[in-house]
Amino acid sequence: MTTLTASEARANLYRLTEQAAESHEPIFITVFLEKIHNL
């Protein structure tokens, strides 16, 4: 299982889709709520 921030996922989207297709493992994209609440 892989966990990434939204920025990391955006920067590596093609590689992540290839990885998920090959491994059949989920990839979790997280958002840090503290940052959202402070906007």
Which tens digit of pLDDT belongs to each residue from 14-29? 999 999 999 999 888 8
Q: Is pLDDT at 3 greater than 90 in this prediction?
A: no
| Of 29 and 2, more confident | 29
| HEC readout, 1-39 | CEEEEHHHHHHCHHHHHHHHHHHCCCEEEECCHHHHHCC
Q: What is the pTM of this model?
A: 0.59
Q: Is pLDDT at 30 greater than 90 in this prediction?
A: no
